Amino acid sequence: MKLILPFVFAAAAACAAAPRQPNIVFIFSDDHAYQAISAYGEERKLLATPNIDRIGQGGVRFDRCLVTNSICGPARATILTGKYSHLNGFPNNSNSTFDGAQTTFPKLMQKAGYQTAIVGKWHLGSDPTGFDFWQILPGQGIYYNPPMIKMGTQVKVPGYVTDIITDVSLDWLQKRDKSKPFLIMMQHKAPHREWAPALRHLDADKDRVYAEPSTLFDDYSGRGLAEHDQDMTIEKTFTDRDAKLSPPPGMTPEQLKIWEAYYEPRNAKFRAANLKGKDLVRWRYQRYMHDYLATVRAVDESVGRMLDYLDKEGLAENTLIVYASDQGFYLGEHGWFDKRWIFEESVRTPFLVRWPGVTKPGTVNTDLVSNLDFGETFLAAAGLPVPAEMQGRSLVPILRGQRPADWRTAFYYQYFEYPTPHHVRPHYGVVTDRYKLVRFYGTKEDYWELFDRQKDPKELRSVYADPAYAPTVAELEKELTRLRKELKVPDEIPARFFGNQGVEGGGQRKKKQAKQND
């Protein structure tokens, strides 16, 4: 007995000291603006998101998480591969298909013994790879009674899409192989256009009048052609379906009856008012906020259900949980909805992380981090090597409160898709804590802009031509050249990167217009 006991104690001590691989829950919404999360303390205080806030309260709220290409499919491809669009081959929503043979972080985690699943919006054209279980929306998906693809088989699930994605995710967690660590990616459609609320949330805000952003009627003075020539305004681009003057697709007669009982009396008042000009924009903005924020309410409820499940099952203490969106979104700022730009509301995504025992509760971080870093972070958290081909960096040191001395101080951004939809011109640029230097390229009008966010936080005036900023321009141009070389950005961009129609002035391609690809 005397010989056995020391061995037993030593083995037990070694087991206790060995770090356990954490479970990973990645909750990912579509087009969720940081302005619509109460943890970010946005000045308009649009709504409370108590469950999403719980993640930040128990961990880290990142205030400068930037995306590499502010559009849905490309953001997903970047997260999976840890690579920019020009290397992962998915630069736009119009004509890109994800190459599932690439190295992705779920594949590496699956190979290392993690049980992996993805549920919800995929939006990458090909079937998911690297997952033990997948059930996805085809294309953009719809809000009510959505068709889905479950492991290659089409199914139709009754109900509201956010609830369905949550139900399927929790069901998989309950039935998983509980001897293995897990990775689940719960990816919501909401609050993507056309922002169709759950029936239970139609009257949730009691016809509240929302504060307007100060730039709702921006005239784009002080900026170039790109800002003037876009097609994403509440004034000109809003459709009847966006405004709920027509119902969303897929509803049952019973659902439609409840929907119309709420909207039709309000729509009748709107039609009778015959609003024009700024009055019409103001009405649309209020309707937009009602609908968009109502879809966020359901997402927040979903997050609460997931957090409560982890608590109930005793999993929370060994689970790294993330809430993020594919990019930012405009909630009326500059008169816009949608995303695409290097500008702040678009390029900045919400990002909250809780990892018990690692993250200090209630931390706020302002380092330049990115969706480029997500996959590397998950791999490192699991104790797995990060492939050299990935272009981001693990955030694990930052999550521990130990910022590496050589952490990035400048970030590269590039957007491609043009001219449809929304006519936002291709551009690339460099972002620092204070400045944004951006070049609009690929069309007949090729020009630069510089924004000083310290003096102009709403990015209303380019100071590129101001002689006082000449040293700053020179420094940022040098940094931009360095980043493009380091990130292997080609000087010549293939026409297909811009979408089905190429770009103005060359590379035009005639193909059938892609279905809704916002």
Q: What is the mean pLDDT of the chain?
A: 93
Classify residue 515 by its DSSP letter. Answer: S
Asked whether residue 366 carries a pLDDT value surpassing 50, the answer given is: yes
CATH code that applies to domain 412-498 = 3.30.1120.10
Would you place residue 1 in the very low, low, confident or very high pLDDT band (cuts 50, 70, 90)? very low
Helices assigned H by DSSP within 325-430? 344-347, 374-381, 396-399
Sign of the torsion angle spanned by Cα atoms 205, 210, 213, 217: positive
Q: Is the pLDDT of residue 41 over 90?
A: no
- Cα-to-chain-centroid distance, residue 380: 22
Output 381 or 507, whichever has higher pLDDT: 381
Nearest in space to 291 (alpha carbons), one of 234, 365, 219: 234
Q: Please give the model's pTM, rounded to 2 decimal places.
A: 0.94
pLDDT at residue 5 above 60? no
| pLDDT given for residue 43 in this prediction | 76
pLDDT tens-digit readout, 170-223 = 999 999 999 999 999 999 999 999 999 999 999 999 999 999 999 999 999 999
Q: d(Cα 468, Cα 218) in Å, to the nearest integer?
A: 26
pLDDT, average across residues 352-364: 98
17 or 504, higher pLDDT: 504
Q: Where are the domains of the chain?
A: 21-197+292-401, 201-285, 412-498
How far apart are alpha carbons 151 and 398 in whole angstroms? 36
pLDDT reported for residue 357? 97
> Which of 309, 285, 328 is CA-nearest to residue 182?
309
**pLDDT class of 126 with cuts at 50, 70, 90:** very high
* Band (17; pLDDT cuts 50, 70, 90): very low
Percent of the chain at pLDDT > 90 equals 91
pLDDT above 70: residue 85: yes
Angle between helical axes of 253-273 and 277-312 (0-180°, round to 10) = 150
- For the four alpha carbons of 417, 422, 423 and 429, in that order, the dihedral sign comes to negative
Query: Strand 23-29 and strand 351-354: pairing?
Result: unpaired
- Paired tokens of 170: 């929790």
Q: Return the higher-pLDDT residue of 375 and 43.
A: 375
- The number of beta carbons lying within 10 Å of the beta carbon of residue 41 is 9
Q: Are 367 and 60 in contact, with CB atoms under 8 Å apart?
A: no
Residues 28 and 188 sit within 8 Å (Cβ to Cβ): yes
Assign 328 a pLDDT band (cuts: 50, 70, 90): very high
Calculated CA dihedral for residues 289, 290, 292, 297, nearest 10 degrees: 130
Domain 21-197+292-401 in this protein, CATH class? alpha beta
Q: Mean per-residue pLDDT for 274-284?
A: 98
pLDDT at 42: 73
432-491 pLDDT per residue, tens: 999 999 999 988 889 999 999 999 999 999 999 999 999 999 999 999 999 999 999 999
**Beta strand 182-187 with 60-62: parallel, antiparallel or unpaired?**
unpaired
pLDDT of residue 51 exceeding 60: yes
Comparing CA positions, the residue from 89, 80, 103 lying closest to residue 416 is: 89
Residue 411 pLDDT: 98
Q: What is the pLDDT of residue 445?
A: 85
